[in-house]
Structure 1
């Protein structure tokens, strides 16, 4: 399968609605095709059924270089985590220009690397917006059971220390990822929720408006978490399942 054929397939799936959505996120109009993430995932599955992993990996980098936003999203889904090395990841991160692309690369490729936590410790001190966001995105992703990542209590201790240290960042895309990481940690179990609530309240009462923002937005969800027998971790009491079967903590 050739890159141009796949670009044409993406264009066939485009819509004005999704094109406008992409442009609103700050993606230049000429780099947007206008395809939903769901359609991108369907196309990725179709491609992966017809070509071997090593070819899909090479095709992924070719699509990434096309400049189209949706082609970059598709590229990440085609890349083989086993074949992806540190040089590849750095190459991708250097060209990340939006929060959704940052999260997409982290949740679908970097989190699958055996040493993904090294990027957390490396990037949390980075001055570049999307590198720093990536550190918190990886924290959040590592706490989601579906990613099948083993996170120890020592790892969580490190995460909470990093969050406390960096919660004063003024950049919106970093603040949102920081709050996201805090919330995902709190959802793991009741003991961690207690620790996270203490930190969230501390941030909420901080003299720093940026720390207050992180704490306030985290508490909106953390204070409404309940335990459900059918679920491995805590969920919001505002969800259908939470309302019907949730147990207050």
Structure 2
């Protein structure tokens, strides 16, 4: 499966094939590798939305791993696309399952590090989560705040002027 993730061509995948693969995911390593491939398909947003609502741990992780990868690789995607996913992140920030919470955290941090225009809304959500009574949301928020307020991260963002 890892070989397929590394050699797969996003334009040759179809959405049903992606869903079938996701149904068999059983490790974070597979998820994170394949999510990178899925994030470059033309239907990646539809996959994120569907996978996020799936109760299976590794399928839900796929949604947030795809978000994290897409913020890095999809340079031409407008920032508005990622702002629109902040409510999804907030909605699933209370999922206590280890592999889900880490991917939700990863997606939030990556969105906040993509550009100056995304930094403020991502940091605001991170601060809101950090103040949450929910233990998982609080962990996600505190960890994201720590990274998004790091001096080196802020310096890097300011240098990009976006």
Calculate the TM-score normalised by the size of structure 2: 0.89
1:208 aligns with 2:134: yes
Q: What pairs up with 1:49-198 in 2 under 5 angstroms?
A: 72-107=1-36, 109-144=37-72, 147-198=73-124
Q: How many equivalent pairs are there? A: 160
Calculate the TM-score normalised by the size of structure 1: 0.60
Deviation (angstroms), 1:77 = 1.8
1:84 and 1:203 map into 2 onto residues whose CA distance is 36
| Structure 2 spans left out of the alignment, 5+ residues | none
Say if 1:187 and 1:233, in contact at 8 Å, map to a contact too.
no
Deviation (angstroms), 1:167 = 0.6
Say if 1:204 and 1:211, in contact at 8 Å, map to a contact too.
yes
Deviation (angstroms), 1:151 = 2.5
- Equivalent in the alignment of 2:125: 199
Say if 1:143 and 1:184, in contact at 8 Å, map to a contact too.
yes
1:197 and 1:230 map into 2 onto residues whose CA distance is 15
Say if 2:51 and 2:62, in contact at 8 Å, map to a contact too.
yes
1:143 and 1:74 map into 2 onto residues whose CA distance is 23
